[in-house]
Structure 1
């Protein structure tokens, strides 16, 4: 009888251990957590997209395109004069800078970007020159 009690206790203990440790005889699935996919790199928005609702940007761009500006300037690269992006990095968009740079466009200038002079554009109105300058300064990243 003592052997039966001991054997019964051993069986009960084994059953308790098996169920408490997950060994119920059925397979349990383990799930490994996979890292969330990395957020897609934020694409740089073009200045045209960034300023699509800005009438000064659109008007200035149109004026620049129909002028002789592209023969000496590009947005991203220096040709004869500085790249527009370089100008926008150097000057903040303030009324004073717009007025100063518009006067450089109308009257010509030399010495700020080197010794090659920027020719004068005396037939250009002050308002148009200011719109063109605003377009350039709005290119700032």
Structure 2
């Protein structure tokens, strides 16, 4: 269960609506949570707890899939606003999604029981808001 938590901010911007009135989109802070349950196939370095095997194999890889829950902000473009710097978004609202997730990556043995792991993953939402989630990570594991 590689749990991911994030926080962020959407900066404030102004634009002009169709009638020429100034529209202000205030600063908003948001929260994000990804909670997948993934079953991985592991091979090579770090795949087992046997020390001799991990010393001999310096590279390993993994791939798998499962089910994930995502909670995060969804922004909607303000259709009635014209802005020379691009679209103006309304305040984000927290929405949740459940979907299928797949991940793959590789790990390198750095010595002394530590592994450097690179992972990419993708979640395809099966719920109403169709929030597809892409992620990439670099992890130092023991």
- Bin for the TM-score computed over the shorter chain: under 0.3
Compute the TM-score of the two structures, normalised by the length of structure 2: 0.20
Q: Tell me which protein shows more helix as a share of its residues.
A: 1
Greater relative CO (CA pairs within 8 A, separation 6+): 1
Compute the TM-score of the two structures, normalised by the length of structure 1: 0.20
Q: Tell me which protein shows more strand as a share of its residues.
A: 2
Q: Which has the larger radius of gyration?
A: 1
